[in-house]
Each structure stands twice: as structure tokens, then as C-alpha cells.
Amino acid sequence: MTSSELTLRGVGKSFGRGNRRNRVLDGIDLTLADNEFVSLVGASGCGKSTLLSLVSGLQDYDEGTIEVGGSLVEGPGRDRGVVFQHYTLMPWLNARQNIEFALKAAGYSRADSTRIANEHLALVGLSESAEAYPSQLSGGMKQRVAIARALSYKPRMLLMDEPFGALDALTRRDMQELLIDVWQHHRLTVLFVTHDVEEAVFLSDRVVVMGRYPGCIREEVNIDLPRPRKPEVTGSPEFAELHWRVMSSIKQEAALAS
């Protein structure tokens, strides 16, 4: 971990105007190193999803600076792949076409798009379902295609907003393992928003606990569990201790706020 991939300095964001102006983020300083996997956790209303959308460029920030790979974020860009919380596959395109859709937008030729789409379907274990339309895919499969789509055009960073939030517990587990697998192969910087502390600890190099009213960074917990991580690690005492540390940090914060 040498160069910094993502740098936020004094980032602030408000919604509304005049008397109803509501400060949702205040003085956010955060740095992600190259290939680092960082999760944002916190009680609802802490602005973690908003923070992610500021980094993605889908929303504008009012104060501070956000830099990706040394250049200022001034809007969305293909250097940052985004996986949304809700299913965002285009229903009129099948799984392969959904990935090709992104690749064509990124300027790849038709032949290259098909080849890369097939490679990425294989990466997420969905080669068999290449021709299936989203209505025929399960929630987990849809998110796998969405991850494949976001990775296909080789962004510097992957931004994920509670991507497994709508999935059942077992599928969620499978997806976490798949993501860890993909990340270990691809080696890219990931910013991951979740409200599931166990998920955050299992996946991340570092967990950032956010506080609220207004949203801010409360604590950063380094997750020094060895990699590659297997699901068994969640049963270890080290895992339990880290889980507890993050959990109590969120709880303290919630108690302070109320």
C-alpha cells in the first residue's frame, strides 16, 4: 500500500435550502490506498450512501475536495465502477448484452465487447446464464452480472452501495465470497457501503465507522485478519473481537446522538 487512490479532504454536503437546509456530511477526511478494500458502516442516516455517491460523482459536494488517482472528481466517470443497491440491469437486455452495453459505451468494438463480456460472466460463474434476461435471474445472479458489468471496463475503483442488502442470508454469504475472490484476482480499490458489520469485517482491510447529525467519520478500524480469507474466519476469536469493536463504536455513536 503505497500510492493513495482516493483522497477526500474536508468534504461536506447539505441538502435543502434556507431554514430547511440540512447538513448530511461534515469534514470528511478519508484516504484509500491502491488496492485497498474499505467499508463504510454506521447507523442509518449517517450519510454513508451519500458519501459514496459523492465519490461516484452522481451527486455534487459542497465543500472540500475528492480526488481519484490524483485528479479532482467533477462528475461520474468510467474510472469508477458503481454497483447499486437496487437491481440495475437493463431488463430488455440479456446478461451478456448488459455487460456489452457498458463496454460499447466505453468505446470497445463489438467483437471485443463480446469477448470481454464472456470473460466476465465466467468470472462471476454465470457463463451458463449469458442468454437469460434479468426477469429470469435470481437477485443474487442479477447482482453478480452487475458486478461483472462494473468490472468489465476496468475502472480504477469499484464503488458498492449495499450491493447485497436485498439478498437473503445464504446468497449474501456466497456473494461475499465471490466478491473476495474477484477482488483478490483483480486487485482493485473498493469502497463498500453496508449496514452489516459482519460483512464489513469479513471483506475489508479497514472499516470506517460513521457518526451522524451531521454525518462524519467516528473511527477507523484496521482489519488485520490474514488473507486469503475463508468463511471459517468468521468463527475465530480475532474476528469476534474486531466485530465487537466496530459494533460498540456504532452503538456508542448511536447513544451519543439520541
For binding to other proteins (CB under 8 A), which residues are involved? Answer: 56-58, 75-78, 80-82, 84, 86, 88, 90-94, 101-102, 105-106, 133-136, 153, 168
Hey, what's the cell of 162?
449495499
Nearer Cβ to other proteins (99/180): 99
Q: CA 43, CA 21: separation in Å to the nearest integer? A: 21
The one-letter amino acid at 75: G
The one-letter amino acid at 21: R
Nearer Cβ to other proteins (156/206): 156
* Minimal distance, residue 186 CB to other proteins, in Å: 18
Q: CA 225, CA 203: separation in Å to the nearest integer? A: 10
* Minimal distance, residue 89 CB to other proteins, in Å: 9
* Minimal distance, residue 225 CB to other proteins, in Å: 31
* Minimal distance, residue 84 CB to other proteins, in Å: 5
Nearer Cβ to other proteins (101/213): 101
Nearer Cβ to other proteins (10/76): 76
Q: Which helix (H) or strand (E) holds 83?
A: strand 80-83
Q: CA 140, CA 166: separation in Å to the nearest integer? A: 9
Q: CA 103, CA 43: separation in Å to the nearest integer? A: 36
* Minimal distance, residue 210 CB to other proteins, in Å: 22
* Minimal distance, residue 145 CB to other proteins, in Å: 12
Nearer Cβ to other proteins (81/215): 81
Q: CA 203, CA 34: separation in Å to the nearest integer? A: 16
Closest to 192 measured CA to CA, from 252, 180, 184, 166: 180
Nearer Cβ to other proteins (12/81): 81
For the chain, helix (H) and strand (E) counts, in that order, are 7, 10
Cα first-last separation, the chain: 38
